A and B are shown apart, each in its own frame.
Chain A
Amino acid sequence: MRFLCWFALGLVGVTASVCISSSAAARDSAQAMPDTATIARLADTPRWQALLHYNPGATLRGVGESYVDDPNFFLASDGATNAADELAATIQALAKPDSPARCRYPARYKFVATQLGWDTTDALAHCTDYQDWRDRMPIGRLVMVFPAAYLNSPSSMFGHTLLRLDASAKPESAYLSRAINFSAQSTGADGSALYVWRGLVGGYPGRFSVNSYVETIHRYGFIENRDIWEYPLNLDHDALDWLVRHLWELRGVNFDYFFFDENCSFRLLELIHVARPDLPLLAGQRFAELPVHTIRTLVDAGLVSDNHYRPSKIHTLQRYADPLSSSERALTKRLTRNTGLLETPAFQDLRPAARHRVAQVAYQALRVDGRTRQRDKSTAHDSLALLRAIQRNPAPAAAPATPPAPPEKGHATHLISLAGGRIDGASYGEFGFRMTYHDVLDRPQGFPTGAGIQGLDLKLRAYDNGDIELERLGLVNIRSIAPRGTFFKPISWFVDSGLEQTPAGSTRQLGLYLDGGPGLSWRVGDVVPYVFAAARLETVATQEPTFGTGLGANAGALWITPTVQWGLELSQRYFAQGFHRTRAGLSANLPVSRNNALRARCEYESWNAQGQADCQLSFRHFF
């Protein structure tokens, strides 16, 4: 069902089935077939390679072959691996003026006709489905769209990308533009583990689709509460014509979908590459294509000169709520529970502009909550009552939102660090590498505050006595410290797993661990205090059994300013095996540029009563 719906939502909603018959085309050809050398030369051009989605070496898998995993896309039997054969078959199929292949491949037609000097007058006039679709896809401007992280979900920090096609360079309403998406088509029947596995190895097909941009705004901005960044691209009419023609060729065509490299972001980049094959959009090897890399690639290629920030509903609410006095804010909170207060002096005695603001904040708070639930009569009644109060009490327009730093201005993804420190009288040097992405103390610009996700975090230490030891190999460490406010009461949480050195008896030992739990946090000015309940599983223990299970708590605070980021944390775990661990740490992070920072950290760790202090200073470089 889900798949069928998706298909229906799919590229055009036109289920034109086009039969390609290349056998008879040559005989009726109005055009002469060029010689082999010409075909070989044209097949090597970047545009033809882009139209066939040949991998120029951008990803590891199948270099020199097409990414398209769909035999219907090719006209030659070896079209997925032989660009020249596919070009010859294409020329043959397109040659006849009323050829149905022209309607199936309008971008290939543009390529062949331009290169071979064919007369293009009314060449696609017989393609009524295509023409109808083009009428509904007016091309004025292409915009790269980046929905950022949503609240309390650090794993969404990687973001998402899609394209928007505007009818003109200055569209009257972006709501009415088209959204171009590439996404995996999972069947919904697989369990999570299988889903992850199939996603990694390319078990799901991916497809392009077109729908209305208003659905994108509704879904990401209103339901999921993600800020949306929009980047208009400097692409001229001809480039956009290539892209839209090619989009038609891709309707219903399957690509393999790989989470790491061949994902939505990579495909969109590839689509733009069809429009501008002269730009180095796919240059270099990609191990993992993150949405923010895509934005940076477009910026570096000179295609982006501007951005537009579309705040989520929650950020809009915060912007309206912040200027209210504390008594007004308390009143808005009461109004969301009882709109009868609108008729009492508590509300009526306010100035008209204040009545407007208070009612507006109450309405928005009610809707943020109500929007994701089923409609109920009392919420609907309260919503309308608040809207009437807004309407009856006019106020000057609120100041526009001040955008935060855009995601592409954030630090890069990978991290290497070099540190020097002392533990228990021994000096050491430490080398660190972190695959991805951000911890809560890293430079905050471009990232949501209090959210951290770290994957594959390696630390190696060389001690002054010559020992070299693995200090840490973190697998995944996710932290969501989401402060509770007037309107929202999120539950913070963290999960951390991997291998690490911890005190055990009078020594330190390497062991596997899994640590995590739910928590609460608050905001006091720039300081965010928090507490977590936590459970820990570990393999480190000096006595039998060697599998430790502990319970405990963490308490700490973040103080995140644009220039320095401070973190303080205390944690305690009591283990069923009869020992306990205490850890206390203080860190300060000082970014010196976008991708470089200094970090000082002192930590005290103990196993039962035996403890060690460890202090270090590190230089951190993102790349």
Chain B
Amino acid sequence: MKKILVGAALLGMSASASAVAPGGDGCGWGNLLFEGKSGLPVHLLATTVNGTSGNATFGMTSGTNGCDTSGALTYDGKSLLAMNGMLEEVAQDMAVGHGEALTALSVSMGIEPEDRAHFDTVMHQHFADVFPSQDVDAGQVMTHIDSVMRQDERLKVYAS
């Protein structure tokens, strides 16, 4: 696909570049040479448009990003989880026990720096409670996190 597009661009032929194909939003020369129409967040929009599964785990979501600007700059835990791809990052970090996505979640939930390592540990231990099935969505995961925190002496102050 990519080389066909490159060839088409070089030969000056008119090819209709697929908006779904990842790639090409470089700037300057790279963009010119690579692919037809990719100078704007085609991919983000494409993935938003193509998402079929709501904000499920292990799937593209059609959550708060893309055309919805209400949560575009600041996130609470739930809106962060609802972002494209965040749920799977958080799931992986919880399974491992730490990671940048899990830290982003605890920061956005207002968990104080001194409690974040403890939050990571508790979430790691209760992974099966937070992700009981592959079909949980961001809202359910947030509810599960909340009930796990409620049962923890140090974390219950952060539960909603």
Binding site for B on A (CB under 8 A): 2, 4-6, 8-9, 13, 136-137, 150, 152-153, 155-161, 172-176, 178, 183-186, 188, 190-196, 199-200, 204, 210-212, 214-215, 218-219, 222-224, 257, 259-260, 263-265, 288-291, 360, 363, 367, 370-372, 374-375, 377, 379-381, 383-384, 387-388, 390-391, 394, 397, 436-437, 453, 455, 475-476, 478, 493, 495, 497, 516, 518
Given A9-B41, A155-B6, A199-B39, A214 and B86 contact (CB-CB distance below 8 Å)? yes
B66 interface contact, C-beta 8 A? yes
Binding site for A on B (CB under 8 A): 2-3, 5-10, 12-17, 19, 22-37, 39-45, 47, 50-53, 56-60, 65-70, 72-75, 80, 83-86, 88-89, 91-92, 94-98, 100-101, 103-104, 107-108, 113, 124, 127-128, 131, 133-135
Other-chain residue from A2, A371, A455 in contact with B42 (beta carbon distance below 8 A): A2
Q: Is the CB of A155 within 8 A of B34?
A: yes
| Interfacial chain B residues near A204, Cβ < 8 Å | 39
Q: Is the CB of B32 within 8 A of A384?
A: no
The CA of A374 and the CA of B86, in the complex, are separated in Å by 16
Q: Is the CB of A390 within 8 A of B83?
A: no
| Interfacial chain B residues near A13, Cβ < 8 Å | 69-70, 72-73
Other-chain residue from A259, A390, A397, A518 in contact with B98 (beta carbon distance below 8 A): A397
Q: Is the CB of B73 within 8 A of A214?
A: no
The CA of A204 and the CA of B39, in the complex, are separated in Å by 10
Q: Is the CB of B91 within 8 A of A478?
A: no
Q: Is the CB of B66 within 8 A of A9?
A: yes
CB distance from B51 to the nearest CB of A (A): 8
Given A6-B40, A383-B58, A215 and B9 contact (CB-CB distance below 8 Å)? no
Q: Is the CB of A156 within 8 A of B34?
A: yes
The CA of A264 and the CA of B128, in the complex, are separated in Å by 45
The CA of A219 and the CA of B50, in the complex, are separated in Å by 15
Q: Is the CB of A192 within 8 A of B13?
A: yes
Q: Is the CB of A183 within 8 A of B25?
A: yes
| Interfacial chain B residues near A192, Cβ < 8 Å | 5, 8-9, 13-17, 35-37
Q: Is the CB of A219 within 8 A of B9?
A: no
Given A155-B33, A184-B39, A387 and B127 contact (CB-CB distance below 8 Å)? yes
The CA of A453 and the CA of B10, in the complex, are separated in Å by 13
Q: Is the CB of B27 within 8 A of A160?
A: yes
Q: Is the CB of A370 within 8 A of B67?
A: no
| Interfacial chain B residues near A363, Cβ < 8 Å | 92
Q: Is the CB of B31 within 8 A of A259?
A: yes
Q: Is the CB of B85 within 8 A of A218?
A: yes
Q: Is the CB of A360 within 8 A of B96?
A: yes
The CA of A414 and the CA of B28, in the complex, are separated in Å by 16
Q: Which chain A residue has the least Cβ–Cβ distance from B83?
A: A214
Q: Which chain B residue has the least Cβ–Cβ distance from A178?
A: B73
Q: Is the CB of A155 within 8 A of B10?
A: no
Other-chain residue from B72, B73, B103 in contact with A173 (beta carbon distance below 8 A): B103
Q: Is the CB of B23 within 8 A of A191?
A: no
Q: Which chain A residue has the least Cβ–Cβ distance from B53?
A: A375
The CA of A375 and the CA of B88, in the complex, are separated in Å by 12
Besides A363-B92, A383-B58, A387-B92, 6 more A-B contacts (Cβ < 8 Å) are A8-B67, A196-B32, A218-B85, A374-B51, A383-B134, A391-B128
Q: Which chain A residue has the least Cβ–Cβ distance from B32?
A: A259
- A-B contacts, 17 of them at CB < 8 A, read A150-B23, A158-B30, A175-B80, A178-B73, A183-B27, A184-B39, A186-B37, A188-B42, A192-B5, A192-B14, A199-B32, A199-B39, A222-B89, A383-B134, A436-B29, A476-B33, A497-B10
Q: Is the CB of A152 within 8 A of B2?
A: yes
Q: Is the CB of B37 within 8 A of A172?
A: no
Q: Is the CB of B31 within 8 A of A211?
A: no
Q: Which chain B residue has the least Cβ–Cβ distance from A257?
A: B39
CB distance from A520 to the nearest CB of B (A): 14
The CA of A224 and the CA of B36, in the complex, are separated in Å by 17
| Interfacial chain A residues near B51, Cβ < 8 Å | 374
Given A2-B40, A218-B83, A387-B95, A263 and B27 contact (CB-CB distance below 8 Å)? yes
CB distance from B44 to the nearest CB of A (A): 6
| Interfacial chain A residues near B113, Cβ < 8 Å | 172
Q: Is the CB of A264 within 8 A of B28?
A: yes
| Interfacial chain B residues near A218, Cβ < 8 Å | 83-86
Other-chain residue from A160, A437, A495 in contact with B7 (beta carbon distance below 8 A): A495
Q: Is the CB of B6 within 8 A of A196?
A: no
Q: Is the CB of A394 within 8 A of B97?
A: yes
Q: Is the CB of A156 within 8 A of B24?
A: yes
Q: Is the CB of B22 within 8 A of A384?
A: no
| Interfacial chain B residues near A211, Cβ < 8 Å | 65, 72-73
Q: Is the CB of A160 within 8 A of B47?
A: no
The CA of A371 and the CA of B24, in the complex, are separated in Å by 18
Q: Is the CB of A374 within 8 A of B96?
A: no
Given A188-B37, A212-B75, A193 and B58 contact (CB-CB distance below 8 Å)? no
| Interfacial chain B residues near A394, Cβ < 8 Å | 97
Given A8-B69, A9-B67, A173-B104, A223 and B47 contact (CB-CB distance below 8 Å)? yes
The CA of A6 and the CA of B57, in the complex, are separated in Å by 26
| Interfacial chain B residues near A455, Cβ < 8 Å | 29
Q: Is the CB of B72 within 8 A of A212?
A: yes
Given A136-B73, A212-B73, A290-B28, A375 and B58 contact (CB-CB distance below 8 Å)? yes
The CA of A136 and the CA of B43, in the complex, are separated in Å by 26
- 4 shortest interchain CB distances as A-B pairs: A375-B59, A13-B69, A191-B14, A175-B104
Given A199-B31, A374-B50, A160 and B39 contact (CB-CB distance below 8 Å)? no
Which interface residue of A173, A183, A388 has the most chain B CB atoms within 10 A?
A173
| Interfacial chain B residues near A475, Cβ < 8 Å | 10
Given A259-B28, A476-B10, A5 and B15 contact (CB-CB distance below 8 Å)? no
Q: Is the CB of B12 within 8 A of A193?
A: yes
| Interfacial chain A residues near B85, Cβ < 8 Å | 218, 222-223, 371
| Interfacial chain B residues near A186, Cβ < 8 Å | 37, 39-40
Which interface residue of A159, A191, A257 has the most chain B CB atoms within 10 A?
A191
Q: Which chain A residue has the least Cβ–Cβ distance from B56?
A: A375
CB distance from A209 to the nearest CB of B (A): 9
The CA of A156 and the CA of B26, in the complex, are separated in Å by 6
The CA of A215 and the CA of B7, in the complex, are separated in Å by 30
The CA of A505 and the CA of B133, in the complex, are separated in Å by 71
Q: Is the CB of B29 within 8 A of A158?
A: yes
| Interfacial chain B residues near A374, Cβ < 8 Å | 50-53, 59-60
Q: Is the CB of A288 within 8 A of B28?
A: yes
| Interfacial chain B residues near A136, Cβ < 8 Å | 73-74
Q: Is the CB of A384 within 8 A of B133?
A: yes
| Interfacial chain B residues near A377, Cβ < 8 Å | 134
Which interface residue of A160, A175, A196, A219 has the most chain B CB atoms within 10 A?
A175
| Interfacial chain B residues near A371, Cβ < 8 Å | 85, 88
| Interfacial chain B residues near A379, Cβ < 8 Å | 58
CB distance from A16 to the nearest CB of B (A): 13
The CA of A550 and the CA of B73, in the complex, are separated in Å by 56
